Amino acid sequence: MLDLERRWVRPGPTPAQVRHDTIAGVAAAVLSVASVEVWHSGYGSSLGWKGVEGYLLFAVAGLLLALRRRLPLLTLAGESALFITIGIRLEELGVIFTIQMILFVSLYSAWAWSRAPRRLYATSVAVILAMFGWLAWEFATTTPPRMPHEGLIPPYAAAITYSLMVNVVYFFGAMAWGHGAWRSARQRAELAARVDDERRAQVVDRERAVQAERVRIARDLHDVVAHHVSGIGIQAAGASRVLSSRPEDAGLALEVIERSSRQAVQQMHRLVGLLRADDERSDRGPQPGLADLGSLASPDGRPVVTFRQVGEPFDVPPTVALSLFRIAQEAVANLRRHADAGHGEVVLRYAAASDSCPASVEVEVIDDGKALGSTVGQDGSGGFGLAGVRERAVMHAGSCEIGPRPEGGFRVRVRIPVAV
């Protein structure tokens, strides 16, 4: 259906399109002049003024096509005037295919590239009235040739009807084709605009998700650091009371203060770049740790998620324990939402220190689902939960492995060194 409102304004042609039009205009002029020469040589038709008028009119018509996208309405008006001029002064040349095609292309281009709807309608109406008025004048002033009456319709009436049908298809077909090209360009522009909007929204969502993840990490670690600081305060108060009466107990308290302060300083260094003051107002209970990893299992659910511990447990700093729990929690949540898996497993590994490697603790979440649809997929917060997993691993100087497993399924594994 014709969208006669044409509210969308098509952008002008690109420099490459302008170059192509220029080359096409020159080629059309050369081809038009050649077609006139061929027609004149074959049928001996008159070439008009001093034997060059036909060449000049056809050459100008071809060159004018170079403006078909930059000035489409001017091109249509000029080509129409040239076509009528050729039809009046050089009637026999008006049937040459090149001038017919040039007029068709100019009408198509006007409807495909015009950026002024009202002027387009006015110019099109003027061209159609001029063309059909001129055609009617030709039929009215021309003496019909004597032809045998062989069919149901009188010969001259049949010729008029046929000519009208051809011209209706010619003119309105060019307009409909050009309008279809305009609609296609509008749809492409709207699609490109939607894609740009979605990309911008994705960037905003990514920034918000990373921001939220950093705030959550900061709050989690803040609770642990606050625990150390409050412990230091309690030990300092106790040491001040017994300093004179029981110096040995005061010394033990000072040792605890020293150890706790070092741990707190170490954890505060890890918070650099992550701590934010956006929201630290919620009252929260004790934070989960490695002992709570078993709560992520669901042996009776779908998918089935089991928990397994490997190695001899040892003390792990609360910040590390909390981060590993959050990592496993994120991976299991993604597994349930996106993996299309039947079975998943959460593995907690304790690795004792050796001569070459410090002690470490590792959390691994694996599944047997489809790798493409697994934990790499989007999560409910915008699809960037695994960015937080990587941030937590880097914050503790740990290593992170996220990706498909060779034997199928998906793996999220994080290992963090621990000083014991």
Which pLDDT belongs to residue 385?
66
- Over residues 21-32, the mean pLDDT reads 96
Residues 93 and 158 both lie in one domain: yes
- Over residues 319-348, the mean pLDDT reads 85
Confidence band for 283, pLDDT divided at 50, 70 and 90: very low
Residues 77 and 155 both lie in one domain: yes
Residues 358 and 404 both lie in one domain: yes
Instruction: Report the share of the chain in percent with pLDDT over 70.
Output: 85
- Over residues 171-200, the mean pLDDT reads 93
Exposed (0-12), middle (13-18) or buried (19+): which is 156, by Cβ within 10 Å?
Answer: middle
Residue 386 in this model has a pLDDT that exceeds 90: no
Residues 229 and 336 both lie in one domain: no
- Terminal CA-CA length for the chain: 77
- The overall average pLDDT reported for the chain is 84
Which pLDDT belongs to residue 384?
47
Is 97 domain-assigned?
yes
> Domain total for the chain?
3
Residues 309 and 329 both lie in one domain: yes
Which pLDDT belongs to residue 375?
41
For residue 59, the one-letter residue type is A
Residue 29 in this model has a pLDDT that exceeds 90: yes
Here the CATH number for the domain that contains residue 214 is 1.20.5
Residue 144 in this model has a pLDDT that exceeds 50: yes
Residues 130 and 251 both lie in one domain: no
Q: How many CB atoms lie within 10 A of CB 169?
A: 11
Residues 267 and 320 both lie in one domain: no
More confident residue, 264 or 77: 77
Q: Please give the Cα distance from 93 to 36 (Å, whole number).
A: 7
Which pLDDT belongs to residue 271?
57
- Please choose, from the candidates 88, 97, 95, 104, the residue with its C-alpha nearest in 3D space to the C-alpha of residue 53: 88
Which pLDDT belongs to residue 225?
65
Which pLDDT belongs to residue 140?
87
Q: How many CB atoms lie within 10 A of CB 64?
A: 22
User: Edge-to-edge strand order for the sheet containing 360-367?
Assistant: 304-310, 343-351, 360-367, 410-417, 399-404
| Residue 72 · residue 12 · CB < 8 Å | no
Residue 31 in this model has a pLDDT that exceeds 80: yes
Which pLDDT belongs to residue 279?
45
Domain that holds residue 115: 15-198
Which pLDDT belongs to residue 266?
63
Which of 271, 299, 323 is the last residue before a domain boundary? 271
Q: Please give the Cα distance from 275 to 21 (Å, whole number).
A: 60
Residues 310 and 254 both lie in one domain: no
Here the CATH number for the domain that contains residue 311 is 3.30.565.10
- Please choose, from the candidates 417, 413, 420, the residue with its C-alpha nearest in 3D space to the C-alpha of residue 348: 413
Residues 260 and 372 both lie in one domain: no
Q: Please give the Cα distance from 15 to 198 (Å, whole number).
A: 29
More confident residue, 63 or 315: 63
Exposed (0-12), middle (13-18) or buried (19+): which is 315, by Cβ within 10 Å?
Answer: exposed
Residues 359 and 410 both lie in one domain: yes
Which pLDDT belongs to residue 165?
94
According to DSSP, the β-strands at 343-351 and 304-310 are parallel
Is 91 domain-assigned?
yes
Which pLDDT belongs to residue 7?
85
Degrees to nearest 5, angle at CA 376 with 218 and 390: 30
Confidence band for 281, pLDDT divided at 50, 70 and 90: very low
